[in-house]
Chain A
Amino acid sequence: MASAREMRLRIRSVKSIAQVTSALETVSAAKVRRAIAAVNATRPYAEKSWKLLVHLARQPGHTSLHPLLAGRSEVKKILVVLISGDRGLAGAFNANIVKDTLDHFRNFPAQVSYIAVGRKGRDMLLRRRREVIAEFSDIPIAPSFASLSAVGHLVVDEYLQGRVDEVYLAYTDFHSMVKQDTVIRKLVPLDVQYADDRVVAYNVTHHKTTSVFDFEPDDSQILSGIIARFTELQVYQAILTSQASEQAARMVSMRNATDNARELISSLQMDYNKARQQAITNDMLDITGGAEAMAAMTKTKETA
């Protein structure tokens, strides 16, 4: 058994671990709230933009309207925007999103390249020798739309330049503090069928009117402006959602770590107390044993 001193040191170190993890838990809890507030704040705009996009995509003859709405007959190269976190200590958050994404595209009949949002995802992709064409990291909690429009801009650019034929978005959707799951969906070209998918069901309310819009100044000008912007917004929203999920995952895993540390402390404390008591008992036995031996010795001397 370890000495009492060693055990005291262990208890102290586990205590300080518990302190750190519970501090991280508190910080993450605050960040979850901020990230969720940011997601909720973008929802009205995103919902309406999505509605408008779907509506535009369903206009008769939409394939001739805008290349972002028009699918390509042959898909040779695809791009995946993989959204992960910059830091670990978030349970299986980063591992899950990367694993799910890689599984999803394992047997994909096209060449796959990635844009990594978040350092952890980038590292894991590079370790597996995937092609990463761009990386975005050090994103603050609840970033402004302007500071992240570059991600969406790059996506739109890559597609319009013809370097890729489809773009997918892979991120972690936030359901609750304890439930987050991976969502992989096609971002570009806009797939109108996918509007029925449960994934974005909350985003979709169909227009009552089937009327065709007048466009001012003209349709191509409006569409090229707004479709690109709305695509960027979808990326922005995915990043915010993923942030909420990451912080929630971190909070839960830190809470577990704190609980485990507390349990460990109490069991160590019990062992330590036992060891200490054992040591005292041993000392007592030694003393009484010694005293008895002394007494026996003097007795034999006297009789001699």
Chain B
Amino acid sequence: MPIRCEVVSQDRIVFQGDVDIVNLPGLDGDMGILPNHSPVLTLLRYGVISIKTKTDEQFFTVAGGVAEVQPDQVTILADAAENVDEIDIQRAESARKRAEEALAKTPQTATDEYLAIQAAMRRSNLRLDAARRFKSQKRTH
């Protein structure tokens, strides 16, 4: 029995389909979801979701959110989510560089701004790492 899996961010549906295994970056550690999992509601941390079918494995970055697990479905409400294959490594790299520079320039006393830049930094790091690890892995297959 497959699981119905949906990854939704505020502005679009990132993934939708029947899959066999979903790996979630839960706040307290990774969770592997198989069919007939007991209902769970969990917060997600910054991380990578992997979605496996018999023939294929796809990776998605997620910048926090909530996952609702039901025996036959997994719904991920992501604050921001992206298919790793869509990430342009060069652009991700330059984004990180910009965030790094901005972080160096901003005084830590400007709390809101500092936190915002720090979040941007974490996001770009995550995207870059995920793209390097999972994009290349796919290519070698």
Contact = CB atoms under 8 A, between A and B. Distances in A.
A41 interface: yes
Nearest to B116: A146
Interface in A169-223: 207, 209, 211-217, 219, 221-222
B77 A42 contact: no
Contact of B39 (A145, A214, A219, A233): A214
B43 interface: yes
A88 interface: no
Interface in A99-152: 145
A106 to B, nearest CB: 36
Contacts of A60: none
Given A45-B8, A145-B11, A216-B41, A52 B28 contact: no
Nearest to B40: A214
Interface residues of B, number: 23
A217 to B, nearest CB: 5
Main secondary structure of the interface of A (DSSP, over half): helix
A214 B12 contact: no
A225 B45 CA distance: 13
B101 interface: no
A20 interface: no
A42 B38 CA distance: 28
A44 B9 CA distance: 8
Contact of B77 (A48, A214, A219): A48
Contacts, number: 71
A215 B26 CA distance: 11
Contacts of B66: 52, 222, 225-226
A141 B40 CA distance: 37
Nearest to A211: B39
B11 A213 contact: no
Give the contact-size bracket for chain A.
20 to 34
- The residue among A42, A45, A209 with the most chain B CB atoms within 10 A of its own CB is A45
Contact of A216 (B9, B11, B28): B28
A48 B75 contact: yes
Contact of A48 (B8, B28, B41, B43): B8
A211 B72 CA distance: 13
A222 B42 contact: yes
B71 A217 contact: no
B100 to A, nearest CB: 21
Contact of A52 (B31, B40, B43, B77): B77
Contacts of B9: 45
B60 to A, nearest CB: 15
Given A45-B9, A52-B77, A213 B71 contact: no
30 contacts: A41-B11, A41-B12, A42-B10, A42-B11, A44-B12, A45-B8, A45-B10, A45-B11, A48-B6, A52-B68, A209-B39, A209-B71, A211-B38, A213-B68, A214-B38, A214-B39, A214-B40, A214-B41, A215-B41, A215-B42, A216-B27, A216-B31, A216-B41, A216-B43, A217-B42, A222-B41, A222-B43, A222-B66, A225-B66, A236-B10
Interface of B: 6, 8-13, 26-28, 31, 38-43, 66, 68, 70-71, 75, 77
